[in-house]
Structure formats: structure tokens, C-alpha cells
Amino acid sequence: MKVISLCIFLAVSNLLIAQTSNTDSIDYKKIFLDVEKGNWTELKKYYENDLIDWSKRNENKYTPIQWLIKNFPSKDDGYRACLLALIDVGASVYDLSPEGWNAFQLSVANGKMAAIKILISETNPNIGMKDKDGNTLFHLCLWANVLTTDSSFWKEFLHLKQITEYYKKSSSVFKFDRYTVNRLGQPPIIYYFGKVRPQQEERVSCDKVLMLFEPLITPLLLEVVDKSKKSAMDYANLISVKDGDAVKDFYNKLIQNQKDEERKQQEKDIATIKSMFNLEKVDKNKKSTSSSSSKRCSNYCYKCNGSGIAYHNEYKNCMECSGRGTVRRSSIHETISYREFSLWYETCSYCGGSGSRTVTYESTCSRCNGTGCDR
């Protein structure tokens, strides 16, 4: 029995020694170099080697899959093959990089659209995830516009199917609530001017960025403040006069657009009411003229067009805005531990900002005394 036990012990020891020597023989520097260059021809030699630790980190503290994402170009079949292979062999996409980001957050923060598309299709990441600072993917996407010269990355990211479906369900990626703000109480637009913009080396002009955001920004979002009591407009003013003026002009443009939309809607409503009123008037005239033409065609009352009815307009104080022409609005925005009250004024849509409204009423025609016939 002692001999058998000794033999088993020696066999296991030899096996462990052999595995250790095989592990030591793995050239991780070579693996990281192949990953950095997207060298699929060389990397696939390690594809079936179960002894490789894919969580190993290089001198920059990145794992192989993170290092691949950092160096991923916009288009390259070699990098694509490497990323798919690393996912297939079980390289973790959840390990955190030195910045505190997982593989998907790292790809978004570095503007690696090709890697983003692969990770979305292969790993189904949580679009609502936040990093250690509470930044959402939309915050990180703005950060990516600083690192890349391609200002369209933000737009392309928003138009990815999975991203579009997410922010449509949540109404807007720019709404101000605890799901879309970071630990500093900043929605993405405040984060851009408070955190990202000072780091930017004028690669993307403020005007271009604002135009890119236009479909998603309301005047209110440029006025809300974070925990330091600063708004996006405040941060822009602190950075430079040029940026401050650009945001101010953009804000005024949004306000004007809002007023124009309200005015167009009011004009449309007024036109609808007028058309209904005219149709009703025509119908009454037709009935009156048809009945009067046979009886009193020679004494037709032209003041009321034979209807016997007079129409009068009176201007009364608008009850909606109490004659001011503007309506006061307010709302409360909440984060996890922070509450902010906002107050603003809008043009009264009921009276169109005039402060009064028109009241139309009918009375008996004084000329024909309601007979439709001028005797």
C-alpha cells in the first residue's frame, strides 16, 4: 500500500510540475502584443490552450480583452476575429479596467464603435448600467467625443437599435431624474460642460456639439443645476466666453423655436375655429336665402345676408393667464438624495400671449329685426 501511495504521489507531483512548467512557458507579453496589433493568425495558436489566464493584466493594468478594445480600430477583420475569439474562450467582459469600466463601458468611453456592435450582439450588456461615479453610458459617450476626432460618434451611438429602444422606453436620455444623473447630480448635458468640456482640445466645436444634441435638449435642461448649484450654462461660462455665448445663443434659439411652435399651433387652432364658424354661417345663410328668396327676394336684408342674425365679437380678460399673457410653470426634479425646484414662464397658449380672448355671440339683426327681410 505504501508503494502504491508513493507512486500516486509522484505521478500527481509530476503532473503539477508539468502544468506549472507549461504555464510558465506562456509568453503573455507576446499575447498582449498580438492583441494590440489584432494579429489573429498568432493569437489563434492560444485559442485552445486551457492553461492561459485571460484575466492576466499587462503593465498598464488591462486584461487582454480590455487591451484589445483600447487598440480597436474602426474597421479591421483581425481585431474583430480576436474579440470574438476572446469572448468565445471565456475572457471576462465584466472585469473592470483601471478606470473602473467593464468591457462595454470601456468601448463606449473610447469611442470604439466596431467593438460596441460586437459586444452588444454577443454579450447583451445592460444599457442602463452606471460606473463607480454614477455615469451612464450616455455620459461616457460624451467623454468619447473628447478622445476621438469624430463628432458623429454620439449620433451613431444613439441610433444603435438597442440604445434607441432603451431611451425611447425611458422617454429621453436627457431627462433629469435619479436614473440618468451621476453622483454629482449631473445629467449628460451638464456633465459635458462641467467635466468633459474643460478637457477638450477644441477638436469638436461647442456649436457642433450643441447642434448634435438639439433634438434631445429642452430649455429647462440648460437651466437645471447639479449638486454644486451650477447649470450647463454656468459651466459653459466658466470655461470660456466663446462657449458661454454659444450656449446662450443655443438656449435663446430653443426658446424662440418653442414660441414659434406654440404660435403655429395657435394659428392652426384659430384657422380651424374660423373655418368651422364660416361653414356654420354659410349653412345658415343658405337656409335663410332659400326660404326668403321665394317670399322676400325683393326685400333681401344685406346686413345679415338674409339670416336675421347678427354676430358680435367681444374681448374679455383671459382667465388662463389672468390677462398677463404668460403662464407660470413649475416642476420638482429629484435625484437619489437631492431635490431641485424649477420655475419658468410660457406664452399663454389660450390667448396667444395677448392677455385677452375673443368671445363671439349671436343677436337679432337690428336692421331687419330677425326677419331677414329689409322692409
User: Which DSSP string do the residues of 154-165 spell out, in sequence order?
Assistant: HHHHHTSHHHHH
HEC profile of 218-249: CHHHHHCECCCCCEHHHHHHHHCHHHHHHHHH
Residue 157 in any domain: the answer is: yes
What cell numbers appear for 334 in the block? 429629484
Write down the residue that cell numbers 429629484 correspond to.
334
| Residue 180: count of CB within 10 angstroms of its CB | 22
Which residues form the domain of 140? 24-254
Which range among 80-89, 128-137, 188-197 shows the weakest confidence by mean pLDDT? 188-197
pLDDT band at 94 (very low <50, low <70, confident <90, very high): very high
Which range among 174-188, 246-260, 283-297, 358-372 shows the weakest confidence by mean pLDDT? 283-297
User: What mean pLDDT is reported for the chain?
Assistant: 75
Confidence check: pLDDT of 86 > 80? yes
Residue 334 in any domain: the answer is: no
Side chain identity at 309, as an amino acid letter? I
- CA distance to 134, 139, 176, 192, per residue, from 182 (Å): 4, 8, 10, 12
| Residue 146: count of CB within 10 angstroms of its CB | 18
Residue 141 in any domain: the answer is: yes
Whole-number Å distance between alpha carbons of 191 and 176:
12
Condensed to tens digits (0 to 9), the pLDDT of residues 198-211 reads 766 555 677 777 77
Phi, psi of 310 (to 5 degrees): -110, 140
Quick one: pLDDT at residue 95? 93
Quick one: pLDDT at residue 228? 87
Question: For the chain, what percent of residues have pLDDT higher than 70?
Answer: 68
Write down the residue that cell numbers 461660462 correspond to.
237
Which range among 200-209, 223-232, 302-311, 315-324 shows the weakest confidence by mean pLDDT? 200-209
pLDDT band at 295 (very low <50, low <70, confident <90, very high): very low
Quick one: pLDDT at residue 296? 44
What cell numbers appear for 220 in the block? 429647462
Side chain identity at 92, as an amino acid letter? S
Residue 259 in any domain: the answer is: no
Whole-number Å distance between alpha carbons of 219 and 126:
30
Side chain identity at 173, as an amino acid letter? V
| Residue 326: count of CB within 10 angstroms of its CB | 14
Which residues are registered as beta bridge partners of 225? 231
Per-residue buried b or exposed e for 4-14, using 16+ beta carbons within 10 Å of the residue's own CB: eeeeeeeeeee
> Quick one: average pLDDT of 321-331?
68
Quick one: pLDDT at residue 67? 94
Quick one: pLDDT at residue 278? 62
Pairwise pLDDT comparison (351 vs 182), residue with the higher score: 182
What's the domain count of the chain? 1
pTM for the structure as a whole = 0.61
Quick one: pLDDT at residue 290? 47
pLDDT band at 293 (very low <50, low <70, confident <90, very high): very low
Which residues are registered as beta bridge partners of 312? 361
Write down the residue that cell numbers 463601458 correspond to.
105
DSSP 3-state of 107: helix
Residue 317 in any domain: the answer is: no
Quick one: pLDDT at residue 190? 84
Condensed to tens digits (0 to 9), the pLDDT of residues 11-52 reads 555 554 444 445 557 888 888 898 889 888 888 888 777 788
pLDDT band at 260 (very low <50, low <70, confident <90, very high): confident
Whole-number Å distance between alpha carbons of 190 and 21:
54
| β-bridge pairing 309-317 and 356-364 | antiparallel
Residue 290 in any domain: the answer is: no
- CA distance to 190, 346, 351, 359, 361, per residue, from 315 (Å): 45, 22, 11, 6, 11
Quick one: pLDDT at residue 96? 93
DSSP 3-state of 310: strand
Phi, psi of 252 (to 5 degrees): -60, -35
**H or E element that contains 315:** strand 309-317
Task: Report the CATH number that the domain containing residue 174 is assigned in CATH.
Answer: 1.25.40.20
Quick one: pLDDT at residue 145? 65
Phi, psi of 346 (to 5 degrees): -125, 150
Residue 158 in any domain: the answer is: yes
Confidence check: pLDDT of 328 > 70? no
Residue 302 in any domain: the answer is: no
